[in-house]
Homo-oligomer: A and B are copies of this chain.
Amino acid sequence: MIVIMKKNANKSQIDNFSSWLKAMGFDIHLSIGTNHTILGIVGDTSSLDIEVIRALEIVEDVKRIQDPFKNASRKFHGEDTVITLPCGVKIGGGHFQVIAGPCSVESEKQIISVAKAVKAAGATLLRGGAFKPRTSPYSFQGLQELGIKLLMEAKKETGLPVVSEIMDASHIPMFEYIDIIQVGARNMQNFELLKQLGQLRKPILLKRGLANTLQELLMSAEYILAGGNREVILCERGIRTFETYTRNTLDLSAIPILHGLSHLPVIVDPSHSTGYARLVRPMALAATAAGADGLIIEVHNDPANALCDGPQSLTPEAFSELMKKVNAIRPFADR
């Protein structure tokens, strides 16, 4: 970390500041120029809060040299992390997987029928929401524990491993047989939840928050990794912008950037980000071309009666068509 001192910072202030840093175990390299004194802080600065340093009266500005994440960093872990589920399905390091299923689990019939349809079309994992984060307390909050049980039925029936979203650390025991636990965008910085998930030995699918940077996403992954759980899948799902024709703006540059900074697999959710079924296909193809390690796509059950079942969801037929195009583009994808 490099700290540029203000012109009017006097020697005694700079000495105090250096002593404080040394007391925390850092080495200090002082460089006194004609205009500015610059302090190089040498050591593991990941515990230092850059905002606190920047706001000191005697500091003009501050700059991190090292990334503030370590376990997630490709600099310390050069090879791609490959996550292997108990059933043998692998994600990352060239293994591309498509997770598909309904927004919410609604009934045994629904989840099993969608599971069969997406499996037939080539999906290798099943998704389904049991706990639903809703802006309004008056909206349907999911089938909750029952939803988890129905997912287990669908898994038994189809053999597909299962992904579902958790909303509170106290629910962890219910997720024992869920293959991948999803942390939603609104919980990306629910640090207590992340800490508890770090104690598990089970893959975590961590979605980027709606207004969070990629560095913040990696710092949240670091919470899980630091607890000892090495299996984190990063997920780009769209960020808030001023655009109103989409619900959120899918940031596909996240794929090459995260692959450059980290060894963790990166998947993309084109359903929630756009909010419209007709945008899912172009965005899924674009994510594939940009080198994503997988996709997570909403597919609904009964197109004939699906008036209000997931307007951002594809029909099984549209999903099947999409899978063909995805497979055609895969060989020419970046990386």
Contacts and interface: CB of A to CB of B under 8 A. Distances in A.
Nearest to A210: B211
Nearest to A196: B168
Copies of this chain per assembly: 4
B61 A61 contact: no
A36 B40 CA distance: 10
A319 to B, nearest CB: 15
A51 B332 contact: no
Contact of A167 (B192, B223, B333): B192
A82 interface: no
A283 interface: yes
Interface stretch (A111-119, A154-162, A174-182, A183-191): A183-191
Size bracket of the A interface: 35 or more
A215 B36 CA distance: 21
Nearest to A250: B253
A107 interface: no
A292 B196 CA distance: 38
A16 interface: yes
B288 A219 contact: no
Contact of A226 (B137, B212, B310): B137
A63 B290 contact: no
Given A31-B40, A213-B244, A256-B278, 7 more contacts: A35-B42, A47-B140, A52-B311, A138-B226, A167-B191, A253-B279, A282-B334
